[in-house]
Amino acid sequence: MNQYIINGNHPLFGEITISGAKNAAVAIIPAALMVDGVCRIENIPQISDVTLLFSILDELGAKVRVLNQHAVEIDSRHIHSTKPSPDMVRKIRASYYLIGALLGRFGQASVAMPGGCNFGVRPIDQHVKGFKALGAEVTEGNYVHAAAKSASGRLQGANVYLDVVSVGATMNVMMAAALAEGTTVIENCAKEPHIVDLANFLNSMGADIKGAGTDTIKVRGVERLNGGTYCIIPDQIEAGTYMTAVAATGGQLLIKNIIPKHMECISAKLMEMGVYVEEMDDTLLVRRTGPLQRTNVKTQPYPGFPTDMQPQIAAVLSLAQGTSLVTEAVWSNRFRYVDELRRLGAQIQVDGRVAVIEGVDCFEGAPVEACDLRAGAAMVVAALAAKGTTEISNVQFIERGYEDLVGKLRSVGADIRIVDVPDEALTTESIG
């Protein structure tokens, strides 16, 4: 089992290039199953979730050919199963996108309930509601079994109203509807950049989807999707994580290969805290030289502040002057990392969905645990700013969503390394 060892309290200087978006890739790769041909996907992030999805596709009969470090070809012309291995599916939350993809193309899917990070109740009831509206019979248990009820074996276009703004449900229903008979209108949609990216991918393969990124998405079903080439957008959350890292440590980073519009919600909060942020085409210059100022943060669906950045911003606010409030309005249990930050000296009290943060002068290195992907990123941000040495365990969670985190940080002056620790030597229990 790997650990990160970080000797902190060093400012960061240099350039970091952002990888492809994890949240887009883990939907686009399952969506490749809908293509009756060969699709080339570029700007693929090298993360463990992507590797696992490739294994799942291979098991179902797709041929995945790695072209280079960040590009693959996926040939889904000879899929022989719509029931992926439960052992693999349960390792990744995004496996639920397999349901929409397989149900849309083949009219049936049988997928084990997904796994992944555990930071609150994350039901798939809105996904199921959408599938049923499209004419599927769905049963739930340890598996989700879904099958089109029509004589043609295809889903039928329908009006779908999502009771809550759900990224996963928006994407899953949109995928399923792309190959349905007739037109589907999905209302109360989420608007995240990776939803737009998935729609653009499907459209590049021959789908007819309009309105992605707005409240209402209209999908005209087509007979089939053909092959093509598509490039995944840069990762908003990876970029935001490095922005918080330089905010915590001080220094200056040039963060390259970003879409500035996607970063505005994060940039705005950091600027409120006294961090200098300058947009330059597909690059951000981020600099922190003076003390950090308090602010309040509330997570919201896009274009609001992203829940996937909440742990990282909390780590930075723990070093700000004064009292800050962080409100988690998306997930019910996303403050599990707080106990770990306290080990480093953070002064945080949690009351329901609100964390009250009293800023401290500095962190002191200590052993901590990554209890999920973004909590792990927060531990890295905090450790980079801490005096002394911090050991972070359970880093497999971090590697689910960050490509070469250690290498990128070392390139800008961080003292961070990976060590292999025997499982029996670990004193903390893996969670999630």
Please give the CATH architecture assigned to the domain spanning 2-19+234-425. Answer: Alpha-beta prism (3.65)
Strands (E), 191-249: 208-210, 217-220, 228-231
Strands (E), 221-322: 228-231, 251-256, 276-280, 283-288, 296-298
Q: Where in the chain is the domain with CATH 3.65.10.10?
A: 2-19+234-425, 22-231
pLDDT score recorded for residue 425? 56
| Catalytic residue (one of 117, 189, 265, 371) | 117
pLDDT score recorded for residue 327? 98
Q: Taking the model in full, what pTM does it have?
A: 0.95
Q: What is the pLDDT of residues 124-161, one digit of tens each?
A: 999 999 999 999 999 999 999 999 999 999 999 999 99
Mean pLDDT of 235-257: 99
Mean pLDDT of 336-358: 98
CATH superfamily of the domain spanning 22-231: Enolpyruvate transferase domain (3.65.10.10)
Helix-helix angle 310-317:373-385, to 10 degrees: 20
Nearest residue to 238 via CA among 21, 6, 10, 9: 21
Query: How far apart (Å, rounded) are the C-alpha atoms in residues 309 and 374?
Result: 7
117 catalytic? Reply is yes
The distance in angstroms from the start CA to the end CA of the chain is 16
Residue type at position 241: T
Q: Which position has the token pair 């957008």?
A: 233
SS3 253: strand
Alpha-carbon separation of residue 46 from 49, 51, 279, 328, 402 (angstroms): 9, 8, 26, 29, 8
Residue 335, token pair as written in the block: 């403050």
Mean pLDDT of 327-347: 96
Mean pLDDT of 380-406: 98
Residue 156, token pair as written in the block: 């039928």
Residue 15, token pair as written in the block: 């350039």
> Mean pLDDT of all residues in the chain?
96
Q: What is the pLDDT of residues 78-103, one digit of tens each?
A: 999 999 999 999 999 899 999 999 99
Query: How far apart (Å, rounded) are the C-alpha atoms in residues 131 and 145?
Result: 11
Helices (H), 61-110: 86-89, 97-106
Q: 285 pLDDT exceeds 80?
A: yes
pLDDT band at residue 47 using 50, 70 and 90 as cut-offs: very high
Query: How far apart (Å, rounded) are the C-alpha atoms in residues 281 and 297?
Result: 27
Query: How far apart (Å, rounded) are the C-alpha atoms in residues 67 and 88?
Result: 24
